[in-house]
Structure 1
């Protein structure tokens, strides 16, 4: 069973879930409406018998504080590094999903002493192009659209479920528990706020602000990408390009997944992590 805890980093309380003992594995969730208890429970359950698994809520998400200021990838990475320092966890296998994948990659560059192995899952940061071009930029600037969507999801589990069709390959096969987790999370009064601030920081007229495409050669640790074949947010070709350019890197593509592999296929995600985690 996962336990709950919190540490203070730069004046903000950062909540985390933890389970198991042994080699440390840290799981970073994605953006929009996400948190440790949304994306990671089935993976934690599968890994906890053999590893110490820690899944923090990123700054502004879940039960972590929502302080003012920009919510850029570098800021999130600094907070995650602070969590690892506070918990005396490094070096760890650092896993990140979507936005969390970009955060994990930034941590690996900024604090390589904390990262023994890097596992980005459908990560942000592998390209600059926005998925819907100028429309994505416009939506990032007109934040009321996101606020209205969150308000609608709060009133309807059916709408919440339908919205997940954009990040999963087969909505009909998505477990009810995954929908329930998102529906519970969207009830938080601050749901969506951190993501809106992230878009303010990271979405520009010219594309995503943070990209690692010119820094692939700087990653010094083994890196194992995992990517859904049907991901429409970040193309699998981006992950292939990164895996080809980063020293000691590889890529596994999940044929039946889109952007939310930890909930679409937790068995394959756990198996991938087990193969990536260095032996003690």
Structure 2
């Protein structure tokens, strides 16, 4: 009788968790495009990868690769996308496993993303300048060895988020427990906390629109699988970023928020020195200076990367 009660309680807990998760996905509904422009789909290894493009296709290509976190998407570039499109042909995908792209329960790894970025740049763009944020900066660095790239503009890039934690990836992929943990991490209070602690310097930059889109993208079907690999440490390229950038033939500019904590400015200075790369420091910003100080960021881009000038 006692075992029966325990089993009944466990079944009830599972059913409740599934109902909550289903209700959150229904409330989030279908995710609208993150950016204004023409919406396209790139078919890659069974994924339908959503991307937005804007600007004159005859202008130089700029490909924007968003960073990685539990609620990541190309919306990260919302404050600079249209301005860049005035002079350039700008293309911004939602990486596989994020945003409006497919999110199957595959094993997401750094090699998967390095291959995706390489193929996307080769197939969709024409010798682009790549604007890569955080981990995407390391994937773009690897891709720049494999395909033609006109320049790398990397914002607080990193290739190492810490040791691998396979148990944590496994936990977050678990149907009931993983859903429950992920829903807690991606609640609006949690998203605001992480944004204010790590991404933005000024709390008022974490607007209701930012939080709403992050919450909605984090509650799509399969949303936890790619972030599970991120927190498990499986998306790190493990390269020596400074040394690899030094080996690239294209111009490299690093942009850093002076108040960044996850990847501090001291790290940025070290990478820039090793790579002999230009380093632009944006005051009163953390990990996303392009979102927090877009005008300053755009001025720095146009001033420090001549290849982005109108041709």
- TM bracket (short chain): 0.7 to 0.9
Q: Which moved more, 1:25-34 or 1:260-269?
A: 260-269
Native 8 Å contact 2:51 2:94 kept in 1: yes
Q: Distance in 2 between matches of 1:9 and 1:138?
A: 26
Q: Which runs of 5+ in 2 are unaligned?
A: 1-35
Shift of 1:238: 1.7
| TM-score normalised per structure 1 | 0.83
Shift of the 68–139 alpha-carbon distance from structure 1 to 2, 3 Å rule, reads closer
Q: Distance in 2 between matches of 1:225 and 1:149?
A: 34
Native 8 Å contact 1:100 1:123 kept in 2: yes
Native 8 Å contact 2:152 2:253 kept in 1: yes
Aligned to 1:220: 249
Shift of the 240–157 alpha-carbon distance from structure 1 to 2, 3 Å rule, reads same
- Deviation string 1:139-170 (CA, Å, 9 cap, x unpaired) is 8456449754531255x433332231222212
Q: Distance in 1 between matches of 2:179 and 2:261?
A: 23
Aligned to 2:227: 195
Aligned to 1:121: 155
2:84 pairs, out of 47, 50, 72, with 47
Aligned to 1:110: 146
Q: Which runs of 5+ in 1 are unaligned?
A: none
Matched positions, count:
265
Question: Secondary structure of the residue that 2:250 maps to in structure 1?
Answer: coil
Q: Distance in 1 between matches of 2:48 and 2:65?
A: 16
Task: Map residues 112-261 of structure 1 onto 2, 5 A cutoff.
Answer: 113=148, 115-125=149-159, 128=160, 130=162, 137=165, 140=168, 143-144=171-172, 147-152=179-184, 156-167=187-198, 168-200=200-232, 202=234, 209-247=238-276, 249-261=277-289
Shift of the 171–149 alpha-carbon distance from structure 1 to 2, 3 Å rule, reads farther
Q: Which has the higher strand share?
A: 1
| TM-score normalised per structure 2 | 0.76
Tell which structure's C-alpha radius of gyration is larger.
2
2:65 pairs, out of 20, 25, 28, with 28
Shift of 1:120: 0.7
Moved over 6 A (4+): none
Q: Distance in 2 between matches of 1:266 and 1:174?
A: 14
Aligned to 1:262: 290
Q: Which has the higher helix share?
A: 2
